[in-house]
Chain A
Amino acid sequence: MADPMKIRASAKEGVTEVKILMSHEMETGQRKDAAGALIPAHFITEVSAEHNGRQVLAAQFGTAVSKNPYLAFKFKGGAKGDKLAVTWVDNKGDKRTDEVQIA
Chain B
Amino acid sequence: MNLQRREALKAGGGLGLFGLLAAAGLITPGLARAEWNKSAFDAKTIEETLKALGAGAPASSADVQITAPDIAENGAVVPVGVVSALAGVEAIAILIEKNPNPLAASFVLPAGTEASVQTRVKMGQTSDVYALVKVDGKFLMTKKEIKVTLGGCGG
Contacts and interface: CB of A to CB of B under 8 A. Distances in A.
Determine if chain A interacts with chain B.
yes
Contacts of B118: 70-73
A36 B121 CA distance: 25
A80 B153 CA distance: 41
Contacts of A48: 22, 29, 32
Given A65-B120, A70-B119, A72-B117, A59 B33 contact: no
Contact of A61 (B100, B105, B155): B105
B76 A67 contact: yes
B37 A60 contact: yes
User: Secondary structure at chain A's binding surface: helix, strand, loop or mixed?
Assistant: strand
User: Secondary structure at chain B's binding surface: helix, strand, loop or mixed?
Assistant: mixed
Interface band, chain A: 35 or more
A71 B29 contact: no
A93 B33 CA distance: 9
A63 B106 CA distance: 12
A9 to B, nearest CB: 13
Interface in B141-155: 152-155
A65 B154 contact: no
A64 B124 CA distance: 9
B86 to A, nearest CB: 15
Given A46-B33, A46-B36, A65 B105 contact: yes
B153 to A, nearest CB: 6
A55 B32 contact: no
B54 interface: no
Interface stretch (B6-14, B108-116, B131-139): B108-116
A62 interface: yes
A81 interface: no
18 contacts: A31-B155, A57-B109, A57-B110, A57-B117, A59-B105, A63-B101, A64-B101, A64-B121, A65-B121, A65-B122, A66-B76, A66-B78, A66-B120, A66-B152, A67-B77, A73-B113, A76-B114, A77-B112
Interface of A: 15, 28, 30-31, 45-46, 48, 50, 53-67, 69-77, 87, 89, 93, 95
